[in-house]
Amino acid sequence: MGVESQASSPKDVFVGRVVSNQSVCRDQWRFEAAFNDFPPALPGQFVEILCADPLEENRAGGAFLRRPFSIGGLRRIGQQAFISITHRVLGIGTRWLSQLAPGDQISFLGPLGRPFCIDPQRPAALLVGGGIGLPPLIWLTEALVQAGKQTIAFAGARTADLLPLTRVPDVPVSGTAPSLAFEEFADHQVPTVVSTDDGSLGAAGLIVEHFERYLDQADSPGESAVVYSCGPEKMLAAVARTCEKRSIPCQVCMERMMACGMGTCQSCVIRTHDKEDPEGWRYSLCCTDGPVFDGQTVIWD
Compute the 3-state secondary structure of the chain and give helix, strand, coil in percent, each to the nearest 5.
Answer: 20, 35, 45
Contact indicator for 153, 231 with CB cutoff of 8 Å: no
Peptide bond into 115 cis (omega under 30): no
**Residue 251 binds to ligand FAD (criterion: CB under 6 A):** no
Question: How far apart are the C-alpha atoms of 15 and 261, rounded to whole Å?
Answer: 18
Whole-angstrom distance, CA of residue 301 vs CA of residue 285 = 16
In angstroms and rounded to an integer, the radius of gyration of the C-alpha atoms of the chain is: 19
Per CB under 6 A, the list member of 3, 31, 43, 67 interacting with ligand FAD is: 67
Min dist CB 220 to ligand FAD, Å, is: 29
Give the nearer residue to ligand FES in terms of CB position, either 186 or 270: 270
86 vs 284 by CB, closer to ligand FAD:
86
- Count of residues engaged in binding ligand FES, rule: CB under 6 A: 12
Strand partners, 43: 45
d(CA 154, CA 194): 6
Interface stretch with ligand FES, choices 103-111, 114-122, 153-161, 254-262 (CB under 6 A): 254-262
Taking the complex as a whole, how short is the minimal distance between the CB of residue 300 and ligand FAD, in angstroms?
17
What whole-number distance in Å separates Cα of residue 280 and Cα of residue 192? Answer: 38
- Give the Cα separation of 41 and 218 in Å (integer): 37
Nearest CA to 21 out of 105, 75, 98 is that of 98
Q: Within 13 Å and on the Cβ side, how many CA atoms surround 82?
A: 12
Residue 121 corresponds to which amino acid?
Q
- Binding site partner of 130, from ligand FES, ligand FAD, none, Cβ cut-off 5-8 A by kind: none
**In angstroms, what is the minimal distance from the CB of 38 to ligand FES?**
21
Among 63, 237, 285, 298, binds ligand FES (CB under 6 A): 285
Site for ligand FAD in 75-94 (CB under 6 A): 86-88, 90-94
* Contact stretch for ligand FES (CB under 6 A) within 36-44, 166-174, 205-213, 263-271: 263-271
For 11, 45, 280, 281, the CA distances from 7, given in Å and listed in that order, are 11, 9, 29, 27
- Window 156-175: residues binding ligand FAD (CB under 6 A): none
* Of 291, 293, 297, 298, the one binding ligand FAD by CB under 6 A: 291
Q: Of 257 and 265, which CB lies nearer to ligand FAD in the complex structure? A: 257
283 lies in the binding site for ligand FES (CB under 6 A):
no
Binding residues for ligand FAD, rule: CB under 6 A, are 46, 63, 67-70, 86-88, 90-94, 132, 135, 255-258, 291
Binding residues for ligand FES, rule: CB under 6 A, are 258-261, 263-268, 285, 287
